[in-house]
Structure 1
Amino acid sequence: MTAALTEPRPALAPPPPSSGSKRRRQRAFDEPPRWQIYVPLGIYLLFVLVPFYWMLLFALREPGSDSLVPWPMTGEHFAKVWNERGFDTYFLNSMYVGIASMLMTLFVALTGGYALARFKFKLRMPFMLALLCSQFIPGALMLVPLFEIFRELQMLNSLWSVIIAETVFQLPLSIILISGFIRNVPPSLEEAAWVDGCSRLRAFLAVVLPLLRPGLIAVGSFAFVHSWNHFLFALMFLNSQDKQTIPVGLNTLLGSDSVDLGALAAGGVVAAVPVVIIFAFIQRWLITGFSAGAVKG
């Protein structure tokens, strides 16, 4: 009896951790401290926004002021570039070139992308490889042959020369992207439409094209922005002032002896605002188009 009482008792096992503590430990292990996320993001945001603030500062503050706050604000610089420097014409020309280039790029990319995605032919892979390799050719190397072609066709000093050049320059990547989106659409959807009596074109317009909306918005937006911002083709192919685009118009604000910083900043705001508005409205479609492809779920 005495021996039984003096026998050491076994150590009690520690209680199992609760599910809440497990979740906290897992979260602490998976997630870095918040300052490691917010500090780099804050530095990057500061790096991005300071140039925009500096541009708005020069565009909105009064001439001759050296204040770091644009107060009192003035619209004198905007009125100067819009009415006196011809930015109203430059804006319309850039909008015309951007929209026309976007529509032509989307149309040709749709037809070429559908052929690459749905038809099998011997030179399909070499053709796609050639499209990819063409992206490594700088646009400056295309200036001389394109200039000679447009001169023979009597298209110099025409907005259509810039539109065609921009379309040709953007087509390879656009065709590859559109073919990837079309490849994500199951062919069985088209085959079901064929069984119901639809032709290939009608099945494409009724079944495939609605599913390509995120991809079309993504490709079209980049085509528009590229045409809007491109400087080289407009500078080389357009001679008269009433045919120039906004990037070339900004270049005219740089004088040989002095620079009107207020007018230059106002022109930069005019050039940047449409692009900012476009991406603000289509950012959801851009994310959907480049992350999820053309088919949801």
Structure 2
Amino acid sequence: MTAAIAEKGTAAPLAPDGPATPPVRRRRRERAFDEVPRWQIYLPLGLYLLFTLVPFYWMLLFALRPAGSTSLVPWPMTFDHFDKVWNARSFSVFFQNSALVGVCTLICTTLVALAGGYALARFDFRLKQTFMLALLCSQFIPGALMLVPLFQIFKNLQMINSLGSVVIAETVFQLPLSVILISGFIRNVPYSLEEAAWVDGCSRFQAFRIVVLPMLRPGLIAVASFAFVNSWNHFLFALMFLMEQDKQTIPVGLSTLIGADSVDFGALAAGGVISAVPVVIVFAFIQKWLITGFSAGAVKG
């Protein structure tokens, strides 16, 4: 009798240690967080924040205080170092060149990665896995190993001392990771949405533009922002392919402030602030999209 009732009855409740639904797990994590003393959380975070911000404060200190001052507070404040590097040291030209290289690299990398990522996500072809493995392995090749062949190629194309050579080199070296990231984002978009658009009369390109592309916005912003930042900060390609001063970028311009016998720390710090400000502004505006884009690739849709 008891066995029959057990067979026909409802399932027994889960044990306390059994699987839990996402809301239950979330509540458990919140309770565990509340039970931890606050100092154990804020003390490590405060030390990490201090370790991160002190170098930036030191750079601002040298950039804003007068030359020869040893004060730990930038007062009286001066902008002479910024005026020196922006006008006398041609940092206005370097800034324009870096911005042009960064924007062109962003556009080229995003467009090519979008096309390549869609092909990897939606089409099956021979040696697809081998191609993906080759893309991953290419990330282990240092850019310095490719300087000589790239220099010879650009010399034959008469592109030495041209910003286009830097844009091409930066785009080529950032494409593998960008293609892999974009393909992961596209896989998270349900294929059934595109099929529904085809049934409604859309072509493949129209379905991609109307259905898929709007859902890729966080991923595209993440890929584009890293393409811009990497090209903005890259030193090696600009040093090797750009000869004239009016074609150089900010990283190369910063190296000219370091002399053989002396270093103008105030001018160097001011140049570092000018170099860092655009990157900080970019990440301040896109941080929400950036976090969403990278978390999207971690969840299978």
TM-score (norm 1): 0.89
- 1:185–1:294 Cα contact (<8 Å) kept: no
- Per the TM alignment, residue 295 of structure 1 is displaced from its structure 2 partner at its CA by 9.4
Q: Does 1:246 align with 2:261?
A: no
Are 2:277 and 1:273 equivalent residues in the alignment? yes
Q: CA deviation at 1:292?
A: 2.7
CA contact (8 A) 1:213 1:294 kept: no
Deviations 1:183-225 (A, max 9, x none): 0001111111111111111111111001000000000000000
Instruction: From the CA coordinates, give the structure whose radius of gyration is larger.
Output: 1
Q: 1:117 aligns with which of 118, 121, 139?
A: 121
Partner of 2:100: 96
1:136 matches 2:136: no
Structure 1 residues 136-181: Cα deviation after superposition (integer angstroms, max 9, x where no partner): 0011011111111000100000000000000000000000000000
2:223 equivalent to 1:207: no
**Over the residues paired in the alignment, what is the CA RMSD in angstroms?**
1.9
How is 1:153-172 mapped onto 2 (pairs within 5 angstroms)?
153-172=157-176
Q: Pick from 191, 194, 216 the counterpart of residue 195 of structure 2.
A: 191
Which runs of 5 or more structure 1 residues have no equivalent in the other structure? 1-22
Which of 41, 45, 49 aligns to 1:45? It is: 49
Aligned residues: 274
Give the distance between the partners of 1:277 and 1:95, measured in 2 at CA: 13
SS in 2 for 1:74: coil
- TM superposition shift of 1:63: 1.3
CA contact (8 A) 1:185 1:295 kept: no
Give, as a single letter, the amino acid of the residue that structure 2 aligns with 1:35: W
How far did residue 29 of structure 1 move?
8.1
Deviation at 1:274, TM superposition (A): 0.3
Alignment partners' CA distance in 1, 2:261 and 2:33: 60
The match for 1:126 among 122, 130, 155 is: 130
Q: How far apart, CA to CA, are the structure 2 residues paired with 1:74 and 1:255?
A: 23
Q: Which residue of 2 aligns with 1:9?
A: none
Structure 1 residues 87-143: Cα deviation after superposition (integer angstroms, max 9, x where no partner): 000000000000000100000000000000000011110000000000000110111
Is the Cα–Cα contact under 8 Å of residues 193 and 203 in structure 1 kept in the other structure? Answer: yes
| Matched letter for residue 45 of structure 2 | L
Residue 171 of structure 2: SS of its match in structure 1? Answer: helix
**Stretches of 4+ moved more than 6 A in 1?**
294-297
1:224 to 222, 228, 242: 228
Cα shift readout 1:208-254 (whole Å, capped 9, x = no counterpart): 00100000000000000000000000000000000000000000000
Pick aligned residue for 2:88 from 69, 84, 90? 84
Letter in structure 2 aligned against 1:51: P
Unpaired runs of 5+ in structure 2? 1-26
The yes-or-no answer on 1:27 pairing with 2:3 is no
- Does the CA contact (< 8 Å) of 1:211 and 1:294 recur in 2? no
Distance of 2:262 and 2:35 partners within structure 1:
53
Equivalent residue letter for 1:281 = F
Give the corresponding residue for 1:17. none
Closer/same/farther in 2, CA of residues 235 and 29 from structure 1, 3 Å limit:
closer
CA–CA distance in structure 1, aligned partners of residues 160 and 249 of structure 2: 15
1:148 aligns with 152
Change (3 A) 1:37 1:261: same
Q: 1:169 and 1:134 mapped to 2: Cα distance?
A: 9
Give the letter aligned to residue 241 of structure 2. Answer: F
Of all paired residues, the percent bearing the same amino acid is: 79
- Match of residue 260 from structure 1: 264
Which residue of 2 is the match for residue 4 of structure 1? none
> Separation in 2 of the partners of 1:233 and 1:31?
52
Q: Which of 61, 71, 78 is equivalent to 2:65?
A: 61
TM-score (norm 2): 0.88
User: What SS is found at the alignment partner of 1:156?
Assistant: coil
In 2: Cα distance, 1:257 partner to 1:85 partner: 18
8 A Cα contact 1:113 1:182, kept in partner: yes
